[in-house]
Amino acid sequence: MFKNVKVSEDNIKYLRWLYVISLITFAIYILKYNFIYHLYEYNLVILPTFLIIFLCGPLYYFTKNNKLASIIIFVLSTFLVSFFIYTAGGMNAPGIFWVCIYPFVGGLLFGLIGSIYGGVTMIISYFIFILLDYYKLIPYHQAIQAEFENEKVTNIYTFSIVMIITTFYFLKNEWNTQESLKEHQKEIEVLFKLLMHDVATPVTAIQGAVNFINNKGIETEITKKYFGTIERCSQIIINILSQARSMTALSDGKIQFKGEATNLNELLISSVEFVKIRAESKKINFILKLDPKEPTIFIDQSLFKLAILSNLLTNAIKFSSANSEIIISSLLDNNNVIIEIKDHGIGIPKEILTKLFDVKGKTTRAGTQGELGTGYGMPIMKSFVEKFNGRVEIESVVATEENKSSGSTFRLIFPIYVARKAFKSLAKV
């Protein structure tokens, strides 16, 4: 059960405290049982168990096998505590509450496995005490019952000390774990940034060489095909690196927002012009349905255009069939500005739709003409929408035998009345 358990240095320090307190407590009760209560009949169980626990100290000192020593001390200590409780009256014993500490100590020493073992031992102990009490098999000793209140107070004091030490080491372990995770995260971020830089440089050089050959017109028909493949693959890698940089900068709070009152209709028109060449290659028409009230929102125009609108429009073109339409709408609805981009493409399957905004989810698909993507566009888009205090809604239909129509609608909703306030809070990031 404890095969894969590792005991850390902090846990060893906690175990030492536990070892000393256990030895002192057990020794006191052994002396009480023999010289005050005269309960010699239990020595056959108590003394050997105590002796083995005591020998765990020298065992660890000479062998440095902290795992074996920890397991023996924990298992035998829980057994001995339960046995003392049994002899002192079971569920009516003055120290019955000691049983509830088993899962806490086990979890702190050995993690989940220790906590499970401690919890199971606790439940079994309570079950046995209740069962034995029901059948009147719990021993009753007048001497112990006479000292019940004193024993109860002593147990409470000792229990409190153990709980304070246990809580201290638990919090210390949590703090150390958090610090370790932060350090590990920093190392990953540094490695990620180095990787982006080191990959981008040679890929850019490759793309530059291919462009040079293309411009000079010195490629043959055979090399033209392969140079085209190299150029497309290089561009994909550059797109991945660019989007990865955007995600990193966004999460680090390094992107500076420059807000200004923006006419949404004009922004949508300029965004369509920005991607029009791509749409023309597939003979896709844009239909603009703009609110005549000309809604105004307070945003960073360049970021909004590139990170949000360009991402959505490019995605709509990618998954739309040739000779189809993409409808872009703006609407001022009460206190909200709504942007809607609707295509009549292939739609988004449910298994992809559920993880479309998850950067770890596998959502990359080829477009209707084999266009490749990175899988990061939608998570980045959603992150920027949320930075502007908005939200994203999606409706998508995939064609079936019964229903041949398909397509996707992305709806961006921004509350006007908090737009300026939200931007001010972003500017402080």
- Each domain of the chain, given as residue ranges in start order, spans 9-146, 186-252, 260-427
Can you tell me the distance from the alpha carbon of 157 to that of 147, in angstroms, rounded to the nearest whole number? 16
Can you tell me the distance from the alpha carbon of 389 to that of 139, in angstroms, rounded to the nearest whole number? 68
The closest alpha carbon to 171, from 182, 161, 163, belongs to: 163
Can you tell me the distance from the alpha carbon of 308 to that of 414, in angstroms, rounded to the nearest whole number? 13
Look up the pTM and report it: 0.51
The closest alpha carbon to 125, from 156, 147, 151, 96, belongs to: 96
pLDDT digits (tens, 9 = 90+) for 6-52: 666 777 888 888 889 889 999 999 999 999 888 899 999 999 999 99
Q: Provide the token pair at 397.
A: 């239909």
> Which pLDDT score is estimated for 253?
59
With a cut of 70, which residues of the chain have pLDDT below it? 1-8, 185, 187-207, 209-229, 231-259, 359, 361-362, 372-375, 417-429
> Which pLDDT score is estimated for 147?
78
* Superfamily of domain 260-427, CATH level 4: Histidine kinase-like ATPase, C-terminal domain (3.30.565.10)
> Which pLDDT score is estimated for 120?
95
> Which pLDDT score is estimated for 288?
93
